[in-house]
Chains A and B, each alone.
Chain A
Amino acid sequence: EVQLVESGGALVQPGGSLRLSCAASGFSFSDRYMDWVRQAPGKGLEWVGRIRNKANIYTAEYAASVKGRFTISRDDSKNSVYLQMDSLKTEDTAVYYCTRVDTSDSRAFPDYWGQGTLVTVSS
């Protein structure tokens, strides 16, 4: 059974930093791309970014709203993916979801989602 468990959400002040973790199990983690998607309270879904697998040199893509402030990394030995968030803004307040990515076709989409972790940016 695919499981994704996020952790690290907290209350942080504007300008601060936070690192989210996502522990994966139930599938071959090292083969997969992984995404982060967020959802502000009462709002819709926003894709944050993606990290590819080792075969694709762990390259990453980011939404414009977080590029230069957020960094996605992974540790295949720990079956974990991370989201380092720096220079946080109040508009980064959201539930952050870790997702597995389906790469069975030439384009890839999030298929399994974790339950999310809440990040609140406020003074």
Chain B
Amino acid sequence: DIQMTQSPSTLSTSVGDRVTITCRASQSISNWLAWYQQKPGKAPKVLIYKASSLRSGVPSTFSGSGSGTEFTLTISSLQPDDFATYYCQQYYAYPLTFGGGTKVEIK
């Protein structure tokens, strides 16, 4: 199975900050990577697919980059609604696998 490792696991930050979350794959997944946002008690919502494609309706403050084994999710200016947990997922091969998550919390 392809292991997905996210860092950091927790990020304490403030409104307006630039936030970067890293996701590493245990083998190359080309650019078959998605990023999801999950708020407490809610279902995940896709933000980015194919490593850097912004899902329709997602604010342009979100961006994704990377290919192969190293990927990043960047929030250019953190908004109050962005405090949540973020997960990466590879969909290059079965079984699909998720990173462990990054909780973005208020400093």
Which residues of chain A have a CB within 8 Å of any CB of chain B? Answer: 35, 44-47, 50, 61-64, 97, 102, 105, 107-111, 113-116
Is B43 in contact with A97, judged by CB distance below 8 angstroms?
yes
Interface size on B, residues (CB 8 A): 25
Chain A residues with CB under 8 A of B55: 111
Is A64 in contact with B1, judged by CB distance below 8 angstroms?
yes
What 8 new A-B contacts, CB under 8 Å, besides A35-B96, A107-B91?
A45-B38, A45-B101, A47-B95, A61-B94, A64-B1, A97-B44, A113-B43, A114-B43
Is B89 in contact with A45, judged by CB distance below 8 angstroms?
yes
Is B44 in contact with A108, judged by CB distance below 8 angstroms?
no
Is A105 in contact with B50, judged by CB distance below 8 angstroms?
yes
Q: Interface residues of B: mostly helix, strand, loop or mixed?
A: loop
Is A47 in contact with B98, judged by CB distance below 8 angstroms?
yes
Query: Is residue B66 within 8 Å, beta carbon to beta carbon, of the partner chain?
Result: no
Which of B36, B42, B95: most chain A Cβ within 10 A? B95
Which of B38, B50, B96: most chain A Cβ within 10 A? B96
Question: Given known contacts A113-B43, A114-B43, is B91 in contact with A108 (CB within 8 Å)?
Answer: yes
Is B95 in contact with A44, judged by CB distance below 8 angstroms?
no
Query: Is residue B45 within 8 Å, beta carbon to beta carbon, of the partner chain?
Result: yes
Chain B residues with CB under 8 A of A62: 95
